[in-house]
A and B are shown apart, each in its own frame.
Chain A
Amino acid sequence: MEAYLDNSATTRCYTKAAKLMYDIMTEHYGNTSSLHTKGVEAERYKREAAKIIARSMKVEEKEICFTSGGTESDNLALLGCARANRRAGNHLITTCIEHAAVLNTMRALEEEGFRVTYLPVDEKGVVRLSDLEEALCDDTILVSVMYVNNEIGSVQPIGEIGELLKKQNHRILFHVDAVQAYGKFRIYPKKLGIDLMSVSSHKIHGPKGVGFLYVDSRVKILPILFGGGQQRDLRSGTENVPGDAGFAEAVKEVYTDFDEKIERLYSLREYFVREIGTIEGTTVNGPGGREGAPHIVSVSFAGVRSEVLLHALEERGIYVSSGSACSSNHPALSGTLKAIGVKKELLDSTLRFSFCEFTTKEELDYTLGVLRELLPALRRFTRR
Chain B
Amino acid sequence: MFHAFLIKYGEIGIKGKNRYLFEDALTAQIRHALKPVEGEFRVTKEQGRIYVQAQGDFDFDEAVDALRRVFGIVGICPVVIPEDQGFEKLGEDVISYLKDRYGEDCDKTFKVHAKRARKTYPMASMEMNAELGARILDAFPKMQVDVHKPELMLHVEIREKVYLYSDVIPGPGGMPVGTNGKSMLLLSGGIDSPVAGYMVAKRGVKIDAVYFHAPPYTSERAKQKVVDLAEKVSRFTGPIYLYVVNFTEIQLYIYEKCPHDELTIIMRRYMMRIAERIAEKTGSLGLITGESIGQVASQTVPSLAATNEVCTMPVFRPLIAFDKEDIVTISKQIDTYETSIQPFEDCCTIFVAKHPVTKPNINVIKRSELKLAEKIDEMVDKAIETAELIVVG
Q: Which of A185-193, A269-277, A304-312, A354-362 lies at the interface?
A: A304-312
Shortest CB distance A214–B (Å): 36
Whether a CB of chain A sits under 8 angstroms from the CB of B350 is yes
Whether a CB of chain B sits under 8 angstroms from the CB of A315 is yes
Q: Which residues on B sit within 8 Å (CB–CB) of A384?
A: 260, 353-354
Whether a CB of chain A sits under 8 angstroms from the CB of B343 is yes
Taking CB atoms and an 8 Å cut-off, the chain B residues in 195-246 that contact chain A are 215-220
Say which residue of B260, B348, B354 sits within 8 Å of A308 (CB atoms).
B348
In the complex, are the beta carbons of A381 and B255 less than 8 A apart?
Answer: yes
Q: Which residues on A sit within 8 Å (CB–CB) of B350?
A: 305, 308, 381-383
In the complex, are the beta carbons of B343 and A329 less than 8 A apart?
Answer: yes
Whether a CB of chain B sits under 8 angstroms from the CB of A263 is no
Q: Are A315 and B343 CB-contacts (below 8 A) given A305-B348, A305-B350, A382-B350? A: no
Whether a CB of chain A sits under 8 angstroms from the CB of B126 is no
Whether a CB of chain B sits under 8 angstroms from the CB of A133 is no
C-alpha gap A384/B352 in the complex (Å): 8
Taking CB atoms and an 8 Å cut-off, the chain B residues in 303-361 that contact chain A are 343, 347-350, 352-354
Whether a CB of chain A sits under 8 angstroms from the CB of B252 is yes
In the complex, are the beta carbons of B216 and A310 less than 8 A apart?
Answer: yes
In the complex, are the beta carbons of B216 and A314 less than 8 A apart?
Answer: yes
Say which residue of A307, A313, A314, A380 sits within 8 Å of B348 (CB atoms).
A307
C-alpha gap A308/B218 in the complex (Å): 8
Q: Are A383 and B352 CB-contacts (below 8 A) given A307-B347, A329-B343? A: yes
Range for the number of chain A residues in contact with chain B: 10 to 19
Secondary structure of the A contact surface, majority rule? helix
Q: Which residues on B sit within 8 Å (CB–CB) of A381?
A: 252, 255, 350
Closest-by-CB residue of B relative to A384 is B260
In the complex, are the beta carbons of A315 and B215 less than 8 A apart?
Answer: yes
Shortest CB distance B72–A (Å): 40
Q: Which residues on A sit within 8 Å (CB–CB) of B215?
A: 311-312, 315
C-alpha gap A383/B260 in the complex (Å): 9
Closest-by-CB residue of B relative to A328 is B343
C-alpha gap A307/B345 in the complex (Å): 12
Closest-by-CB residue of A relative to B251 is A381
Closest-by-CB residue of B relative to A382 is B350
Shortest CB distance B116–A (Å): 64
Q: Which residues on B sit within 8 Å (CB–CB) of A315?
A: 215-216
C-alpha gap A311/B222 in the complex (Å): 12
C-alpha gap A213/B90 in the complex (Å): 72
C-alpha gap A305/B219 in the complex (Å): 13
Closest-by-CB residue of A relative to B261 is A384
Shortest CB distance A329–B (Å): 6
Q: Which residues on B sit within 8 Å (CB–CB) of A311?
A: 215-220
Closest-by-CB residue of A relative to B263 is A384
C-alpha gap A99/B167 in the complex (Å): 56
In the complex, are the beta carbons of A383 and B216 less than 8 A apart?
Answer: no
Say which residue of B219, B343, B349 sits within 8 Å of A383 (CB atoms).
B349
Shortest CB distance B173–A (Å): 39
Closest-by-CB residue of B relative to A380 is B256
C-alpha gap A383/B354 in the complex (Å): 8
In the complex, are the beta carbons of B354 and A307 less than 8 A apart?
Answer: no
C-alpha gap A310/B216 in the complex (Å): 8
Shortest CB distance A17–B (Å): 29
In the complex, are the beta carbons of B255 and A308 less than 8 A apart?
Answer: no
C-alpha gap A311/B218 in the complex (Å): 8
Shortest CB distance B18–A (Å): 50
Shortest CB distance B214–A (Å): 10
Q: Which residues on B sit within 8 Å (CB–CB) of A307?
A: 219, 347-348
Shortest CB distance A268–B (Å): 26
Shortest CB distance A320–B (Å): 12
Closest-by-CB residue of B relative to A304 is B350
Closest-by-CB residue of B relative to A327 is B347
Closest-by-CB residue of A relative to B218 is A311
C-alpha gap A341/B252 in the complex (Å): 33
C-alpha gap A329/B343 in the complex (Å): 7
Taking CB atoms and an 8 Å cut-off, the chain B residues in 37-70 that contact chain A are none
Q: Which residues on B sit within 8 Å (CB–CB) of A312?
A: 215-216
C-alpha gap A315/B218 in the complex (Å): 12
C-alpha gap A381/B350 in the complex (Å): 7
C-alpha gap A313/B347 in the complex (Å): 16
Shortest CB distance B344–A (Å): 10
Q: Which residues on B sit within 8 Å (CB–CB) of A310?
A: 216
C-alpha gap A312/B216 in the complex (Å): 5
C-alpha gap A118/B162 in the complex (Å): 76
Interface centre among B256, B347, B349 (most CB of A within 10 A): B347
Interface string of B361-387 (1 = CB under 8 A from A): 000000000000000000000000000
Closest-by-CB residue of A relative to B222 is A311
Shortest CB distance B218–A (Å): 8
Q: Which residues on A sit within 8 Å (CB–CB) of B252?
A: 381
Closest-by-CB residue of B relative to A314 is B216
Interface centre among A311, A313, A315, A381 (most CB of B within 10 A): A311
Closest-by-CB residue of A relative to B215 is A311
Q: Which residues on A sit within 8 Å (CB–CB) of B219?
A: 307, 311
Taking CB atoms and an 8 Å cut-off, the chain A residues in 280-308 that contact chain B are 305, 307-308
Closest-by-CB residue of B relative to A329 is B343
C-alpha gap A280/B217 in the complex (Å): 22
Shortest CB distance A351–B (Å): 13
Taking CB atoms and an 8 Å cut-off, the chain A residues in 114-158 that contact chain B are none
C-alpha gap A305/B346 in the complex (Å): 12
Shortest CB distance A333–B (Å): 14
Instruction: Pull 11 A–B residue pairs with CB atoms less than 8 Å apart, ordered by A.
Output: A305-B348, A307-B348, A311-B215, A311-B216, A311-B219, A315-B215, A315-B216, A329-B343, A382-B350, A383-B353, A384-B353
Question: What 12 additional pairs, Cβ within 8 angstroms, besides A311-B218, A311-B220, A383-B350?
Answer: A307-B219, A308-B216, A308-B348, A308-B350, A309-B216, A311-B215, A311-B219, A312-B215, A312-B216, A313-B216, A381-B252, A384-B260
Q: Which residues of B contact A (CB under 8 A)?
A: 215-220, 252, 255-256, 260, 343, 347-350, 352-354
